[in-house]
Amino acid sequence: MWRYFKAVFTCIPVILYAYFAWMIRYSRHPEKYPLEQRYNKARKLIRYVAKHLRVRYEVSNYELLNKMEEPYLLIANHRSDFDALLFIALSEKPITFVAKIEIKKFPFIGRIVKAIGGVFLDRSDIRQQLLMLKEVERSLNEDKDRSWTIFPEGTRNKNPKENPLLDFHPGSFKIYQRTKAPLICAALYGTERVLKTKHYKYYPCVGEVFGPINEDKYRELPSKDIASLVRNKIEETLPSLKARDDAILASYLKKKKA
């Protein structure tokens, strides 16, 4: 974590300014400020911090996120707390998140998610979960200015080397069934490296975005079948992402030795 703290200390004047200048206000009363204004501020700060963490975005077809003309539901595997920030960094158009309630207490990520209108799920409170997911459905059906991301594994995968992909919760796909929003999927690899201590010249976040899926025949499937289809697609993609990641890391190590 030393490299992480070093980067934070390097960025701390900018982070502190953002925290007191707009982050507190936006996170406490997001309804008072235009979403585009809140999102652009958050994205600019995230990209600044990522630059100092020496993050390199190696995500194929991410341009799809910026080409979509309507709000969509993005489904991705979950390897790191950086995953949500990665999608904000890549997407020029507002995208927000369904996050576990523990994230709400994080001084940086929690404030960002609140500032851009995300929701937090309390996994110990079924009623609260249903209310929050209904809010996501309402947003996708009625709002035209923001998309949503869900990580259907339900938690960060803490041991991706031993178990590359956790089970997907079918309930995450009921939102897709109950709205007309297209479904976009993303496979991620190596995002957990961003906050680790091993030193590379750069820290690649490798991924692939695919979709959109918007056919009624898929919405008519049981949610567990949709979850299985998406999980299988992501699982099939991970080996090629690992190969790309290995090649990128090898090139960075070679440059460092040179």
CA atoms of 117 and 98, how far apart (whole Å): 10
CATH of the domain at 251: 3.40.1130
Cα→Cα distances 2→9, 56, 195, 197, 198, Å? 10, 19, 9, 6, 10
Query: Which DSSP category does 152 fall into?
Result: T
Domain count, the chain: 1
Distance set, CA 39 to CA 78, 88, 131, 210, 230 (Å): 22, 8, 24, 24, 28
- What local confidence, expressed as pLDDT, does residue 193 receive? 86
pTM for the model: 0.92
Look up the domain containing 135 and give its range: 2-257
In this prediction, residue 197 carries a pLDDT of 59
- Look-up of token digits 């007191």: 20
Chunk the chain into consecutive blocks of 10 residues (it has 258) and report each block's average pLDDT, rounded to whole numbers. 59 90 96 97 95 92 96 96 94 95 87 95 89 94 94 90 92 92 96 76 92 87 95 97 93 66
pLDDT at 185: 97
Region label for 4, one of left (φ > 0), alpha (ψ between -120 and 50) or beta (otherwise) = alpha
The per-residue pLDDT for 257 is 57
d(CA 47, CA 154): 26
Report pLDDT for 91.
Answer: 98
